[in-house]
Chain A
Amino acid sequence: MANITLRVNGKAHTVDVEPSTPLLYVLRNDLDLSGPRFGCGLGQCGACTVLLKGEAVRSCIRPVSAVGNDEITTLEGLAQNGKLHPIQQAWIDEQVPQCGFCQNGQILTAKALLDKTPNPTDAQIRQGMNGTLCRCMTYYRINAAIKRAAKVMA
């Protein structure tokens, strides 16, 4: 066990865990953040996605010791001053989710995509989002929501 300090959604937290513990379990079980979710534990599906320095990363395969002092943003940290992020709003406006379990990863992956590519084409959305799986198959509406968010954010 070791004391590890994480910066999550603008706050510092110190936890006493094995350094090899995947970030996902620290966020969920020690910091009570339920945005990131367990889907595969293999980095294959994206349900556990968080933003690390703005990059979408898979928290299920990232040891907590490898995070360092870098700012982590979870789904809970996307809204600012009580106002939803335009991507979240677009998700509501398009009524994207079915079960919604994967949408944490979809939203945060879309955030990283739009930060790099503010006005993506269909092909760029397909490519940028391809590793984030949805078993309800809401892909068509996710595509529409990303384009809607891009317009609002432009």
Chain B
Amino acid sequence: MNRRDFVKTTGALVVGLAANDSLFARLAQSPGPYPDLDFLQLDSWIVIRADNTATFFVGKTDLGQGTGTAFRQIMSDELDIAFDKTSCVMGSTHNTVDQGGSGGSDALQTDGYPMRRVAAEARRVLLEMAAKQLGVPVSHLAVSDGVVSVTEDNTTGVGSLTYGDLIGGRQFNVTLSGKNTDTTTGIAKLKPVQEMKNVGKSPQRHDIPGKVDGTVKWAVDMTAPGMVHARNVKPPVAGATLVSINEASIRNIPGLVKVVSKGNYVAVVFEREENAIRAARQLKVEWKKPATAPFPSSENLFTYMRTATPSSTGKPVETGNVDAALANASTVIEAEYDVPFQGHTSIGPAHAMADPSNGQMTIYTNDMKSYGMRNGVAQFLGMPRDQVRVIWMDGPQGYGRTAADDAGFEAAYLAKEIGRPVKVQWSRAEETAWDTKGPAYAVKMRGGLDAQGNVVALHYDACAADHNHLGYNEHETVLISQLMGTRKSPVSQGRASLPSDMYAIANRKSTTRVVPLPMPFETPLRTGNLRDPDGPQVQFALESFIDELAHKAKADPVEFRLRMLQASTQDDSGFKRARSIACIKAAAEKFGWDPRPSPRGDKPSGLSGDILTGRGIAYAYRSQTVVATIVEVEVNKQTGRIWAKRIVVAHDCGLVINPEALVRVVEAGALYGLSRALHEEVKFDAEKVTSVDWVTHPTLRHEDTPERIDVVIVNGDPNPNRPDLQHYGAGETMVKPMLAAVANAVFDATGVRMRRVPFATRGSLRR
């Protein structure tokens, strides 16, 4: 691929790139091999051109939440260059430092800091260069928008130099320090947040214009000379063994390149895509069913989980003595909450293109963890790491799916087999049935109240179906590897996670266990990281049960939560307790919360006979980000339809880089949580997943859109103007409280408690 194609296809914002830009040329055009960039070299992170523009090289991937734009904001602030003179290149293994790609919403929270530090260091170095050239001390210099000028002796504007004048097209050759990418630093200090000009403003996301005018090249659009099209042929039932393939059955379809099979992995490769699709359907393959059922049916899942022998057990966590406190409590209640497997079900099924040219392997992919894929593919194919290059490009919603990105491995394997560039595209049925799943949870809660209605004991007992949780593009765990017979040993134990809240409850216990399904490998029910991997499941149980306790205490659900948060004055280093209180208060204020116990019990005037209405609150944190959400629902008691009419999300992620982009992420993320609350469940019989399309796996639709969503940006830090206010992640936390907030609102409206996700298909609301 020539440089022009590279620039075009990566969508890299390298407008104005000088032809003699030696560093960029080295990074982008090499035919391979592709050694790692040295994270201790400033030149690995920042390039400044003669025209006074800068490009930042970021080892993260932007899944459509605007992190690329945010990196430009924080880095242009630290560098002191105009935001619109900057661009950024993200996530490709040969031209960005390995910062791990995306995961855990850590782009700004973790990686924002080294990026700010290297930009600040570049500024420091440039000022020293300017001081030398202008013959004045650095203390006599000021810099604005990439122009350094002398401030003393009324000579402002006389001697000024641009960054482009100082370094344009040349390398810094400055060595940094740090043990790893997260701690990379120079000598320069970070700016106080009050001095950051672009932070807190809302420049538009740079990736959006290309996405609405059709000019962006997505990973799925990549082609190469001689490229062929592949489709997988999956086992018809889980655990089936390949017996034979009848290649004659597709002889009438033109353009066959090869039928590839190894172990239970089967793919057809054709010159034209439509013929590959046809052949994948038509190919006659004999499979042998497994002797025993690979899993229980989804109908029986929770019974199975509650009785299965655990594969691992978490260490119990207890403060006080829960059993003794429950024995002495005035009121004791218990309840069980079930969350099924939920899929990623990306709008675009898995895909990738791999090109074996020049003896290298280049993979074009939307893999959020491109660096992990590079390592995984190198091991999978037995190639030296530096001969594998992964070029990250835009793709459909990832949210964890592409942390275990099967298609990239498949494309690379097939490209090596065939010796031509290969594009792999999964079908809808394949994706919905075989993508990675968020683990199912079966939770039992017990709690006790004293005579005054205070919570005196709480026991959280969780069981997660999460045995053999997938790794990050580990070559032994991706599906093609499993189908070819690889068995990672020992397998990942998975986990059952703990609730995330700052409630002060004197006696509290958490017990957890993981149960395996009968068939741990080659299964469509393989668990992976689904947007906040298990927070929504866990918090559904916790925050629903807190609501049940508030009901028993005849307390207002907001007041009841605040009472538990205010029962202690101790806080953690991130002030999560104070910020939890601030978020709940902010949500209640924005909503216009009218304090009273649930359920509502009366009916507001003006609603038609079948409509009931109610509101519910739930709250959560993830890492350091705190969210409180209030949902107002209308429930139709004839049809059982639940409509979230209004949503208020109070959101504290510390320092906000781009408020408008944040609001968009939170709005959409809250609706994603709503989709999981109302609609989403992976269904299966005892041999295969039966959720295979958008009919059998429903999702939120336009008809579910709330009338109004309010996002309240909260800064609940006790010292809100601190100069080092941290920027925390914002990609996932809003999903977490959504399931319980909807369930609590339905209870307020109807008096019916939703203890099994999803709610929309349950019949209990029809009365």
Which residues of A come within 8 Å of B, CB atoms?
A: 1, 17-18, 21-22, 25, 28-29, 33-35, 37-42, 44-45, 47, 74-76, 78-79, 84, 88, 91-92, 95-104, 107, 122, 125-127, 129-143
Contact = CB atoms under 8 A, between A and B. Distances in A.
B274 A21 contact: yes
Interface string B305-320: 0000000000000000
A76 B349 CA distance: 23
B349 A100 contact: no
Contacts of B296: none
A74 B214 contact: yes
21 contacts: A1-B254, A22-B274, A38-B220, A39-B348, A39-B349, A45-B694, A78-B214, A92-B208, A96-B664, A98-B65, A100-B208, A100-B212, A100-B216, A101-B218, A101-B396, A130-B702, A137-B669, A137-B674, A138-B667, A138-B668, A139-B704
Given A25-B274, A101-B347, A135 B396 contact: yes
A132 B702 contact: yes
B348 A47 contact: yes
Nearest to B62: A99
B348 A100 contact: no
Contacts of B272: 17, 25, 29
A67 to B, nearest CB: 15
B128 interface: no
Nearest to A94: B664
The size class of the interface chain B forms with chain A is: 35 or more
* Chain A interface mostly: loop
A136 B66 CA distance: 13
A136 B672 contact: yes
A75 B213 CA distance: 6
Max chain A C-beta neighbours (<10 A), residue from B64, B212, B348 = B212
B274 A141 contact: no
B427 A95 contact: no
Given A37-B218, A137-B675, A95 B204 contact: yes
Interface stretch (B74-82, B504-512, B564-572, B705-713): B705-713
Given A44-B693, A44-B694, A88 B213 contact: yes
* Chain B interface mostly: loop
Contact of B671 (A35, A79, A137): A137
Contacts of B660: 95
B706 A75 contact: no
Interface in B327-357: 345-349
A38 B219 CA distance: 12
B699 interface: yes
A35 B208 CA distance: 14
Interface string B660-684: 1100110111011011000000000
B297 interface: no
Contacts of B215: 76
Nearest to A35: B214
Interface string B175-192: 000000000000000000
Nearest to B205: A95
Contacts of B274: 17-18, 21-22, 25
